[in-house]
């Protein structure tokens, strides 16, 4: 195989090299893995030119041996769920195409100096040096160019806050959507569309949702599935649970940095070569881990969104276990699955459960309304006909001392459900026991209150709506 590299020259080399095949992205090409300067695999006899106009394309360099990387970087990941997760993701990304699975992102969310950037460094060290780590703002000008330099590899994006909130949602969407925008040429015809497939890791003090809210944008549930938040803080030593021979989180974090400065890159070459040697085994083994992980961790009532994220976690577990099987991590068998499982539980916990994001958001909004607007509810004993006429809402204590809320339909629809589908919201509230269903099973589920011939229609909410630990 012949490979020419011209990632600095953006001229159409097709004209010069008529019989060569042009590659614009790194990654898999017919059971070969194309890096900017080397090709792994020897099964084709084609003349290739790698032409990437992106000068930010990582160089995929190596320093130190695989054994040194295992002893110095990989060893420190053991019993550290976030590190095991991130390094497993680095191994999992090239599996996406082989298993025909969708890509997507994971965001480590937490306050500063927890070790979030170090987690990205450790994952990046599977592939290359520090320059491999990109920043969110780099994607603003050249999202497609950046993405094509990381196809089938892992993209690490540090510091979400650096990207303008106006563009953050769309960027997350495009990165996991696996293709760039179609652009029109001067003649009006569409140009070649960039394509990529990878996992990406991100971090920041706030989530994508919170970041977008800063400019008044609301993230859609789909975006949250594309970039799932894992709380960075493990509750032990920031991002870490096990400091090995170090006595403070700070020392441990700095030890990871130093190790990643000295040992990187070689392990991805060995890993890919082993996949290339026996692709069928890699696929079979990874599928087995993936299915086991899903069946062991799938919550009974999981929504479609939760299952989609669970699948991403499962393929990440498969990446870590495959690398371990190849003897490239030094981790115990099942260690990657355990670390990823811990992150999955923490993700689910932080998210508030396994319902769809739309449902969780709606329930939170309604619940917040009750706690933020106590003055909206008059005491039941003082209700007069005039209050009904004015469409007031009430609170009432039942004989057991439990509070109930009678919420006027207009208050519910116009204020509580502002921006959400009120009809769906009533269904969700009933499912969760916040709202009493109507006795006659009518779909309206409202209750009529009447005083001196003045009538009002109400939703009847239970005390669960003000329970502290609910949602
Ligand atoms: N878990 C930790 N406990 C204590 N200090 C830490 C921890 N992680 C990182 N640090 C300190 O913060 C510095 C920055 O680490 P970094 O990974 O960039 O944190 P973050 O990205 O979370 O802000 C480190 O050099 C170290 O001094
Ligand atoms: Mg940081």
Residue nearest to atom 27 of ligand 1 (CA): 250
Verify that 316 and 371 share a domain, yes or no.
no
Q: What is the pTM of this model?
A: 0.80
Report whether 323 contacts 271 (CB < 8 A).
Answer: yes
- Of 21, 10, 24, nearest to 195 (Cα)? 24
Please determine, for residue 148, whether its predicted confidence score (pLDDT) is greater than 60. yes
Residue 352 structure tokens: 């508030």
Which value, in Å, is the radius of gyration of the alpha carbons in the chain? 27
Show which of 305, 338, 354 is a domain's final residue.
354
Residue 118 structure tokens: 């170090």
Least confident window among 153-167, 178-192, 208-222, 390-404: 178-192
Verify that 390 and 304 share a domain, yes or no.
no
Residue 267 structure tokens: 């392990």
Percent of the chain with pLDDT over 70: 85
- Provide the 10 A C-beta neighbour count for residue 200: 25
Query: How far from the centroid of its chain's Cα atoms is residue 427's Cα?
Result: 28
Verify that 330 and 280 share a domain, yes or no.
yes
State whether the beta carbon of 249 lies less than 6 angstroms from ligand 1: yes
Residue nearest to atom 20 of ligand 1 (CA): 113
State whether the beta carbon of 113 lies less than 6 angstroms from ligand 1: yes
Q: Which domain holds residue 110?
A: 66-179+194-354
Question: What band does 151 get if pLDDT is binned at 50, 70 and 90?
Answer: very high
Verify that 338 and 374 share a domain, yes or no.
no
Would you say residue 186 lies in a domain?
no
Would you say residue 184 lies in a domain?
no
Question: What band does 239 get if pLDDT is binned at 50, 70 and 90?
Answer: very high
SS3 154: strand
DSSP letter assigned to residue 466: G
Report whether 66 contacts 75 (CB < 8 A).
Answer: no
- Of 35, 380, 381, nearest to 393 (Cα)? 380
Please determine, for residue 12, whether its predicted confidence score (pLDDT) is greater than 70. no
Show which of 354, 387, 417 is a domain's final residue.
354
* pLDDT of res. 182: 55
Residue 215 structure tokens: 């400019």
State whether the beta carbon of 234 lies less than 6 angstroms from ligand 1: no
* pLDDT of res. 282: 98
Would you say residue 189 lies in a domain?
no
Ligand nearest to the CA of 111: 1
Q: Distance between CA 196 and CA 370 in Å, rounded?
A: 46
Please determine, for residue 187, whether its predicted confidence score (pLDDT) is greater than 60. no
Question: What band does 56 get if pLDDT is binned at 50, 70 and 90?
Answer: low
Give the number of domains in the chain. Answer: 3
Verify that 340 and 425 share a domain, yes or no.
no
Q: State the average pLDDT over residues 324-332.
A: 98
Q: What is the largest CA-CA distance in the chain?
A: 92
Per residue in 374-409, pLDDT (tens digit) is 888 888 888 777 777 788 888 888 888 888 899 998
């Amino acid at each position: 195989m012949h490979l020419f590299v011209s990632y600095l020259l953006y001229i159409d080399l097709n004209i010069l090299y008529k019989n060569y095949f042009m590659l614009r992205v790194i990654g898999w090409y017919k059971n070969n893995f194309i890096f900017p300067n080397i090709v792994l695999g020897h099964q084709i006899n084609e003349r290739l030119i790698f032409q990437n106009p992106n000068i930010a394309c990582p160089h995929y360099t190596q320093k130190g041996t695989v054994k040194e990387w295992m002893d110095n970087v990989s060893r420190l990941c053991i019993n550290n769920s976030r590190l095991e997760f991130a390094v497993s993701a680095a191994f999992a990304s090239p599996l996406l195409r082989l298993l025909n699975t969708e890509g997507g992102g994971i965001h480590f969310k937490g306050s500063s100096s927890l070790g979030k950037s170090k987690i990205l460094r450790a994952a990046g060290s599977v592939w290359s040096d520090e320059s491999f780590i990109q920043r969110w703002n780099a994607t603003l000008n050249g999202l497609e160019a950046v993405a094509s330099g990381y196809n089938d590899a892992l993209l690490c994006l540090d510091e979400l806050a650096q990207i303008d909130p106006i563009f953050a949602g769309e960027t997350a969407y495009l990165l996991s959507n696996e293709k760039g925008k179609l652009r029109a040429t001067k003649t009006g015809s569409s140009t070649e569309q960039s394509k990529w497939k990878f996992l990406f890791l991100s971090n920041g003090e706030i989530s994508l949702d919170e970041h977008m809210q800063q400019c008044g944008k609301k993230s859609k549930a789909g975006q949250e599935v594309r970039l799932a938040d894992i709380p960075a803080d493990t509750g032990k030593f920031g991002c870490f649970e096990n400091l090995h021979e170090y006595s403070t989180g700070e020392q441990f974090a700095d030890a990871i940095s130093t190790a990643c400065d000295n040992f990187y890159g070689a392990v991805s070459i060995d890993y890919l070569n082993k996949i290339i040697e026996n692709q069928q085994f890699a696929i079979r083994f990874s599928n087995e881990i993936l299915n086991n992980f899903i069946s062991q961790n799938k919550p009974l009532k999981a929504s479609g969104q939760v299952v989609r994220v669970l699948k991403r976690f499962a393929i990440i577990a498969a990446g870590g276990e495959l690398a371990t099987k190849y003897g490239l991590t030094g981790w115990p068998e099942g260690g990657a699955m355990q670390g990823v499982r811990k992150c999955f539980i923490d993700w689910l916990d932080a998210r508030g459960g396994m319902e769809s994001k739309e449902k969780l958001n709606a329930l939170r909004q309604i619940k917040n309304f009750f706690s933020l607007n106590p003055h909206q509810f008059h005491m039941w004993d003082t209700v007069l006909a005039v209050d009904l006429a004015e469409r007031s809402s009430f609170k009432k204590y039942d004989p057991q001392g439990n509070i109930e809320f009678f919420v006027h339909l207009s208050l519910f629809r116009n204020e509580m459900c502002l921006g959400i589908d009120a009809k769906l919201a009533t269904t969700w509230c009933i499912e969760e026991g916040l709202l009493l269903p109507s006795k006659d099973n009518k779909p309206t589920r409202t209750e009529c209150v009447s005083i001196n011939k003045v009538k009002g229609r109400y939703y009847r909410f239970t005390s669960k709506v003000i329970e502290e630990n609910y949602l």
